[in-house]
Structure 1
Amino acid sequence: MKYIYITALLFSSVLGYSQSNVNEVFAAGVEDAERFSDSYFGPVSEGAIYSLANGWYNSADSKPLGGFEISIIGNMTSFKNKEDKKQFVLNTADYENLQFVDGSTSKPVSTALGDLQGINVFVEGGIGPIPIKEEFELPTGLASENINFIPTGFVQVGVGLVKGLELKARFLPKIDTEDVGFGLYGAGLQYDFTKLLPADKLLPIALSAVAGYTHMDASYDFTNSKIVDGSDQRVEVDMNVWSFQAVASTKLPVINFYGGLGYVSGNSTTDVLGTYRVQSGPFQETYTDPFSLTRKANGVVGTLGAKLKIGFFRLNADYSFAEFNNLTVGVNFGFR
C-alpha cells in the first residue's frame, strides 16, 4: 500500500512540475498559453490513459463461485524512447505573440515528458508609447529530471460469480494533502468461455474476454514566481479509461503464462484554475480559471505475462505493447 501512495504522489507531482514551469507562457497572452499548454500537457494525459488501462487480469481462468483475489498492482508506463511524445514543433505562425529569440519561425520544443532545454522566446508590444519586450525560457519536461515513466498504482479485488463470470473492482482511496489530491476507482468483468465446455477442468488453457473501466481524478496546487504572480493556482485532471481484451492463459499448478490482445480508449480533461497575474512584459493582465484542455487516446494493446502461485500467495508481471509500453507488477492474495 505504501508503494501505491508513493506512485500516486509522484503522478500528481508530474502535473505540478509541468504546470509550475509552463506558467510563464501566460506572458504571451491567454490564447497563446492555452495553445502551448495543449501541446505541452497532451502526451502526459495520453500516457496516463494507457497506464490506467493495464492490470485488469493475470489469468484467463476466471474464479469459481465464491473465489476471490486481492491484488496490489503497480504500473510503470515508459516514454523513454518516444521522441514524438517528448517534443512537438512550435510554429510561431500559429501563435499571436510568441517568437523565438534566435529568429527561428519553427523548431522542436519540449513537452511535459521531454528534455529539450535552453529554448528562449520573447513577446513584445507596447504600453502606450513605451515599447516593451519580455524574454523567458520555455519549460522542459520530466526526462530532464531523469524520469522516463508515468506511474500508477491501486488495489484490485476479483470475485468469482457463476458460469465463468468474474467481477472486478479497483480503487485508490483519495489522497488529500496540502498540495496533492489523487484517487481512482473502476470496475470490470471477465468471462471465461472455456467454463462452458464439459471438459473444462481437463483443458490445459483458458480463454476469456475482459472489459474494464477506470476513473481517475488528480489535482496539484502550486505557486509561481517572477513573471506570473497569482493565487489558488492549480490543475485538476478528470480521466476516464476503457479497456477491452481477449485473454488466453495456461492452467498449470504453479507457474502460468498469459497473454492478451485488445483495445484501449480514454479521455481526460485538465482544468487550469486559479488567478494568474502577468507582472512583466507588454500584456500585463489578470486571468481567472483561464482554460480547460481535453485529450483523447485510443489504440490496440498486446500483453504477455507470467504468474507464480504458491498457496494463497501469487506474484505476476506482464509487459504491454501499445502507443505507450507498460510494465505491470502485481502482488496477489487469494482463494479459489
Structure 2
Amino acid sequence: MILAAAIIGSSALSAQTSANNLLAAGVEDAERFMTDYLSPVSEASIYSISSGWFNSASAKPLGGFEISVIGNLTGFKNKEDKKSFILDTSEYENLQFQDGSTSKEVSTALGDIEGIGVFVEAEVAPGITAREDFELPTGLSSEGIDFIPSGYLQASVGLVKGTEIKARFLPKIQTDEVSIGLYGIGLQHEFTSHLPADKLLPIAISGLIGYTHLDGTYDFTNTSIIDGENQRIDAAINSWNFQAIVSTRLPVINFYGALGYLSGTSTTDVLGTYRVQSGPFQESYTDPFSIEKKASGVTANLGAKLKLGFFRLNADYSLGEFNNLSVGVNFGFR
C-alpha cells in the first residue's frame, strides 16, 4: 500500500513539474497538455481500485465473515496507445517544438518518451523578444514501471440469506509529499441461494455492486521557472463496479469467473499560487485548472481460491481496457 502511494506520487511529481513549467505558455496551454498527459494514468487508476471485490459467488451465511488484505497490479506494458499522444502545436496558443516540428508524439504519464524540447516566445516590448525553453515530462515507463498498484483491507459479513455486505478501507498514508487514502462499500447477493437444495448444486451464481473512493494529495516545491505558494495536486477517484459471478462449490480449491461493467470518474485539481518568473508571459495564477476523466468498460474475470480452515488465498486476472492481477490473503469463519 505504501508502494502504491510512492508510485502514484512519483507520477504526480512529474506532472506537477510539467504543470508548473507549462504555465509559462499560459494557463490554456497548460490545461490542454495536462488533460492529455494525465488521462491514461487516471483511467488506469480507476480500473485498479475497482478490482478485488470477490473471490467466490457463494454468499456467506448469517454471521459469517472474512477479513482480507488485497493487492492489485493494473498493467499497461503493451498499451502503446495509452503511453503517448500527438501534440499538435496548431491547437496551442504559445507552445512550440524546439526542432521546428508542428506535431509530434509525446509521452503521457504512463509513457517513456524523453528529451522533447519546447519553447514559448513572444515580443514583450517593441524590438524585444523573450523566450523560455524547457522539456516536456516523460512517464512511469521511463522509470521501468509498467503497472499501477493499489491495496487495501476488506471485510465481508453475511446478512440475511444470500446477501453479503463488504467494506474496504485504506487508512490515510502520509509522507513528506504524498497523502493517499481509500474507502468503499459493496453488496453481493447469491441468486442460487433461493433455489431448492441450493447447497447440492455444483455452482453458485451471484451479482455484486461495489463503490470505491480514493483521495490523494501531492505537495511540491517551486521550479526554476515558476514561483508560488501551496502548490499541490488534489486527486479524487470514484468508481462503480457491477459483476455477475459464477463459482464452483468444492471443499478446498474453487474456481470463479465473472463478467462485469465498471464506470468511474477522476478529478484532478491543480491548486495553489503560481507566479511565472521568466519568459514572455509573466503572470500569476491561483488554482489554475481542474481536469476530469471518465472511464467505463466491460471486464471479464477468472480466478481460483484455496481454502484451508480459516485461512484462504485467492488470485484472479481480469481483462478489460486495462488488465488487472488481484491477489487476496483472507481470514474467515464459515
Structure 2 regions of 5+ residues with no counterpart? none
> Which residue is equivalent to 1:330?
328
Q: Which residue of 1 aligns with 2:119?
A: 122
1:251-262 superposed matches below 5 A:
251-262=249-260
What does residue 156 of structure 1 align with?
154
Aligned equivalents of 1:154 and 1:240: distance in 2? 15
Quote the offset at 1:229 in angstroms.
2.1
2: CA distance between counterparts of 1:123 and 1:192? Answer: 60
Distance 1:120 1:183 in 2: 36
Q: How does 1:1-336 map to 2 (within 5 A)?
A: 4-129=1-126, 130-336=128-334
Does the CA-based 8 Å contact 2:26-2:281 persist in structure 1?
yes
Count of matched residue positions in the alignment of Structure 1 and Structure 2: 333
CA separation in 1, counterparts of 2:33 and 2:303?
Answer: 39
Query: 2:56–2:247: 8 Å Cα contact kept in structure 1?
Result: yes
What is the identity, as a one-letter code, of the residue corresponding to 1:178?
Answer: D
Q: Distance in 1 between matches of 2:64 and 2:8?
A: 33
How far residue 174 of structure 1 moved from its aligned partner, in angstroms, is 1.4
Asked if structure 2 preserves the Cα contact closer than 8 Å seen for 1:22 and 1:138, the reply is no
RMSD (CA atoms): 1.1
- Cα shift at 1:231: 1.9
1:264 is paired with a residue whose SS is: strand
The 8 Å contact of residues 271 and 288 in structure 2, kept in 1 or not, is answered as: yes
The runs of at least 4 consecutive aligned structure 1 residues that moved more than 4 Å come to: none
Instruction: After TM superposition, give the deviation of residue 165 of structure 1 in Å.
Output: 0.3
Q: Which amino acid aligns with 1:236?
A: D
Secondary structure of the residue aligned to 2:142 is: helix
TM-score for both structures, normalised by structure 1: 0.97
1:82-103 per-residue CA deviation (whole Å, 9 max, x = no partner) reads 1111101111111000111111
Following TM superposition, by how much is the alpha carbon of 1:126 offset from its aligned partner in structure 2, in angstroms?
A: 1.9
Distance in 2 separating the partners of 1:94 and 1:104? 13
Unaligned runs of 5+ in 1: none
Q: Which amino acid aligns with 1:326?
A: N
Seq. identity, %: 67
Does the CA-based 8 Å contact 2:123-2:130 persist in structure 1? yes
Of the structure 1 ranges 132-141 and 290-299, higher mean CA displacement relative to structure 2 is found in 132-141
CA distance in 2, matches of 1:169, 1:12: 25
